[in-house]
Structure 1
Amino acid sequence: MKNIKYVLLSAILIGFTACNDEADFEDQLDNPTVEVVLPDLTAGEADFSNYIAVGASFSGGFTDNALFIAGQQNSFPNLLSQKFALVGGGDFTQPLMNDNIGGFVLGTQVVSNPRLFFNGSGPAVLPATPTTQITDVLTGNFNNYGIPGAKSYHLGVAGYGTLNPYFGRMASSAGATVLGDAVAQNPTFFTLSEIGGNDVLGYATSGGVGVDQTGNIDPSTYGSNDITDPNVFAASFSASVDALTANGAKGVVANLPYITSLAHFTTVPYNPVPLDAATAAALNQGYAAYNGGLQQAFAALDGTGLFTAEELAQRTISFSESANNALVIIDETLTDLGAINPAFAGIPQYRQATADDLFVLPLSSLIPQGYGTQIPLEDKWALIPSEQLALQTATDAYNATIEAIAASKGLALVDFKGILQEASTTGIQSGNFILTTDLVTGGLISLDGVHLTSRGYALMANEMMKAIDTTYGTNFEASGNLIDAGEYPTNYPATLQ
């Protein structure tokens, strides 16, 4: 571990510096072993006797687009509980799925797909049938309230189990709330993590087809792909923290990364289309009428400022004999020429993508079928810059709330945003590994492009322990009790079922 290496290096250097003559130096060489004594693990000001995790899919251990036993066992809350058990922590019970297949069935009908696995060329759906009935309800008290799909304001919704089967299978009653059930366990320590992630995720994965609800404080009017108003988030997050700390519990919270730095949005390039000369010429012929219509509109509107030469160039479609032709997208922010002059009503809002555009992962399988060339891409496939800005603005507002409340309550804070930013640029060191956000090969992000691998969740647990050390005086890191993330898998074989 890093701290041990530093201790060894320091001890050796001190020994060399203290040598007064050649004999002393030879003695050091003859006895190179330095015994390192680490301090005992201490709980500091924290009481881990009853640890409760509240959150969404990350807390649940969701990975490879599903919840399943192995992923749940490697969830960061379960990994944390094993370390907490070394210093007074109690049992940690999770609402385990029935199998390692993932997904749900209703009777014999599959209503939620199995997990993904790597088939040698890319992610694929596991060819197996789930065994977890969506209507099954588990009994007992639970410690992990990581509910996949939960948005910030869902935590206090009575009867949320009827809307979300992951909570429905563990809810204490038909009318229970996630927060109410969690608080009823009387936690002495808690994690409240990635709350707010789902408040922007649906908008992002749908290519921005939802609505940015900033300014609308009535979440009952929101669609599933909408961005939550920051004031709604602030009220929900504050209520959650107030409830969890009411009996004096301490805890750790995490801020939110920019979701667009995840592999789901960075894997498909804007210019992935290889074309030979003949195919490029055929495509150009197919767009000739469109380009001609643009030229006519520009000639009629030139000088009015309503349709500029810059926009004309931006909207003109052109393919070439090249390995890197840009995709064609429909961009509704472009000038609606038909609204200016009905004679131009038939000219669509096409343009070719640039490096500023992002594309959702499922598009990758459709590009060979002509999507983005013969078939211009609908809004649902792309996040254009204005949509990315909406996501970033909301995330910044959520993080301001998280950080302010953490400071006011004296809670430990993990900079998950910074961690993901580092991973998506230079990579982040974890033991002997450099983890990145690259799909399949990066080690951090699972096959769905959004959720973490088990190795990634181990890294997350370590970052939480470091924050707990700083805030509450524990010494997980100094005592050598951080997790070796390299011992945890980056994906699971198809044979694991």
Structure 2
Amino acid sequence: MKNIKYILLTAVLVGFTACNDEEDFEDQLDNPTEEVVYPDLTSGTADFSNYVAIGNSLTAGFTDNALFIASQENSMPNMLAQKFALAGGGTFTQPLMDDNIGGLLFGGNQNEDGSFGPRLYFDGSGPASLPGMSSTEAFAPSLGSQNNMGVPGAASFHLLYDGYGNPANLLTDPPTANPYYVRMASAPNATILGDALAQQPTFVSLWIGNNDVLGYATSGGDQTVAAITPQATFEGSINAIVGALQAANVQGVMANIPYVTTIPHFTTVPYNPLDPTNPDFGPQIPLLNSIFGALNPIFNAVDPNRAIVFSETEASAVVIKDESLDNISGTIIAALNASPTFPGFIAQFGLPAEAAPLVANLLGATYGQTRQANANDLLVLPSSSIIGTVNMESVAALMDQGLPQALAGQFSVEGVSLPLEDKWVLIPTEQDELQIATDSFNETLEAAATSAGFAFVDANSLMQQLDNGGYSDGNFILTSSLVTGGAFSLDGVHPTARGYALLANEFMKEIDETYGSNFEASGNLLDIGNYPTNYPPQLP
């Protein structure tokens, strides 16, 4: 039987009795309601009988900064598997969490640093952490390997690491295992790739590499937190993974890595969020301009772009530390100590003239590599919660140097009197590093996919389209705007369920192109409108 869908081309059907004359009746005969007849769905040369998905959080179904049952049920591989089932595909199992709160427990406890915590929800003004505690235990007995082998946090080389699922390695410092893989590893020395191949898949999706750049990006380009994977390591890992899949005669589809600078985690917080009408900031502007007025002549002599001025009528940029700048701490200290007006300047803060060398040293140490942010800088999403707050560690350090508590607090306001640290900002040089690495990684991925005869999805171009005007799919236009755009969840990194549906459609289109299936031509793409853009606080 043909799969027949009817499309009504007339808004209203007028009955014969409503015809006023023969001409009206003839018009209806000449313009009947048309029907579109779709061909039967075929898999082409693809064998979907045993589909296994391999990847990271984007494969697992991570959403709203967590993994939970609803997000897994709306994972991209699960959507694909439901369509593959119509074309000869088999069952598809996933390592489901125990609840819809999200997150993990470690021996009954949540991580002290707040990682692996509950999912985010929209509280009416912005993302908020869901109250409650997960019931999913990382050290629970293994679930065994699953069709969905997406492991949040996995980089390319982690697919080959034989201790990544060992629960004992969760206790090392730092941990060398991944709790999500611990839940499903077939043995302590198993590998993600090995567990995937042990299932003898006929078809795989492989989307890996995002975490080879993402950690560096989300840390604001802080090498001490996370580094970009070396190209040789990445290329060796991808070639080993794809080579093993080829040796197993597996068919598949791969995707490349989007530029992280196109996702709302890096595009939501403006560089100039300091509002002069804010009662906590506006009244402080004259004093702040007085303080930086003592430093600006020094800044201007070195580089006028370093001068710091806050506007009393327009939004002002935050003050940041830019490690790519020459450190002029010594220049600042020397100039302030040589200034005959500096002792009088510090007197306005109730400090004696003898404190001038101390204050000069503190100002030099604080502002040696500072400037105000500009439109070329990207602030990471979590910075929104700390800009304008008082850094208590800074307060304590300044008090240890002899400053009164009130004055120490004035000089410790994040992004205002205290420059934002590297972890909160991606400066242009760091963005360049990320783009160069991503371009190189994507060349490796496409070459590997071509060599294996796999379908290949240009996820990078898709994400750029979302960031540049939006992507139209039927009655919906998805953009990269946080909350309102529909494509990205509240963490600013991972898609919504609707975003995953959009990706699933792109995967099916490329599978059609490579293997001769006809998901698109047969009308079997997903209706993205059937998938939510936001999960409510309460889920079953």
With the length of structure 1 as denominator, give the TM-score of the two structures.
0.87
Q: Is it true that 1:131 corresponds to 2:151 in the alignment?
A: no
Q: Does 1:207 align with 2:198?
A: no
What is the 5 A alignment of 1:223-242?
A: 225-242=226-243
Q: Corresponding residue for 1:177?
A: 191
Structure 2 counterparts to residues 109-258 of structure 1, below 5 A:
109-111=109-111, 112-162=116-166, 163-193=177-207, 195-210=208-223, 225-258=226-259
Partner residue of 1:280? 285
3-state SS, counterpart of residue 371 of structure 2 = strand
Residue 294 of structure 1 and its aligned partner are, at CA, apart by: 3.2
2:103 maps to: 103
Give the equivalent residue in structure 1 for 2:42: 42
Asked whether the equivalents of residues 469 and 476 of structure 1 are also in contact (C-alpha less than 8 Å), the reply is yes
Residue equivalent to 2:510: 467
What secondary structure sits across from 2:241 in the alignment? Answer: helix
Aligned to 1:217: none
Work out the CA distance in 1 between the residues paired with 2:463 and 2:192.
Answer: 27
CA contact (8 A) 1:281 1:320 kept: no
The alpha-carbon deviation at position 231 of structure 1 amounts to: 1.7
Shift of 1:142: 1.1
Partner Cα separation in structure 2 for residue 139 and residue 441 of structure 1 = 37
- Aligned residue for 1:322, secondary structure, equals coil
Q: 1:173 and 1:418 mapped to 2: Cα distance?
A: 38
- Compared with structure 1, are the counterparts of its residues 293 and 25 closer, same or farther at alpha carbon in structure 2 (3 Å cutoff)? same
SS in structure 2 at match of 1:443:
coil
1:324 partnered with 2:367: no
Instruction: Report the secondary structure of 1:36's partner residue.
Output: strand
- 2:351 maps to what in 1? none
Q: CA–CA distance in 1 between the matches of 2:285 and 2:42? A: 67
8 Å CA contact 2:377–2:426 kept in 1: the answer is yes
Structure 2 CA distance, aligned partners of 1:77 and 1:171? 19
CA distance in 2 between counterparts of 1:108 and 1:127 reads 17
Residue by residue over 1:178-232, the C-alpha shift from the partner in whole angstroms, topping out at 9 and shown as x without a partner, is 1110011111000001x1100111111110111xxxxxxxxxxxx6510001121
User: 1:50 touches 1:89 (CA, 8 Å); kept in 2?
Assistant: yes
Give secondary structure in 1 for the equivalent of 2:314: strand
Select the residue among 306, 311, 314 that pairs with 1:315: 306
Give the equivalent residue in structure 1 for 2:18: none
Matched residue of 1:102: which SS? Answer: coil
Give 1:407 deviation, angstroms.
Answer: 1.5
Q: Secondary structure at the match of 1:251?
A: strand
Q: What corresponds to 1:265 in structure 2?
A: 266
* Aligned pairs for 1:348-387 within 5 A: 348-369=368-389, 370-387=413-430
Equivalence for 2:437: 394
* SS in structure 1 of the partner of residue 269 of structure 2: coil
Q: Which region of structure 1 is more displaced relative to structure 2, 179-188 or 318-327? A: 318-327
Report percent identity of matched pairs: 57
Give, as a single letter, the amino acid of the residue that structure 2 aligns with 1:337. I
Could you tell me which of 287, 296, 299 is aligned with 1:291?
Answer: 296
- Indicate the larger mover: 225-234 or 77-86: 225-234
> Gaps (5+ residues) in structure 1?
10-21, 211-222, 299-306
Unaligned runs of 5+ in 2: 10-21, 167-176, 336-360, 390-412
Alpha-carbon distance in structure 2 between the residues aligned to 1:333 and 1:284: 25
Q: Which residue of structure 2 aligns with residue 432 of structure 1?
A: 475
The alpha-carbon distance between structure 1 residues 23 and 275, as it changes in their structure 2 partners (threshold 3 A), is closer
Alpha-carbon distance in 2 for matches of 1:354, 1:29: 64
What's the CA shift for 1:431? 2.2
Show CA shifts across 1:360-392 (max 9, x none).
Answer: 001112224242112211111100000000000
On the 8 A contact 1:93/1:141 being kept in 2, the answer is no
Matching residue's letter, 1:366 = I
Answer yes or no: is the 8 Å Cα contact 1:159–1:177 preserved in 2: yes
CA drift of 1:335 comes to 1.8
What letter corresponds to residue 328 of structure 2 in structure 1?
Answer: L
Distance 2:29 2:472 in 1: 32
CA contact (8 A) 1:428 1:436 kept: yes
Is contact 2:6-2:36 (8 Å) kept? Answer: no
Q: Deviations over 1:38-61 (max 9, x none)?
A: 100001000000001000000000
The 1:65/1:341 distance shift into structure 2, 3 A limit, reads: closer
Q: Please tell me whether the aligned partners of residues 455 and 486 of structure 1 are also in contact (alpha carbons under 8 angstroms).
A: yes
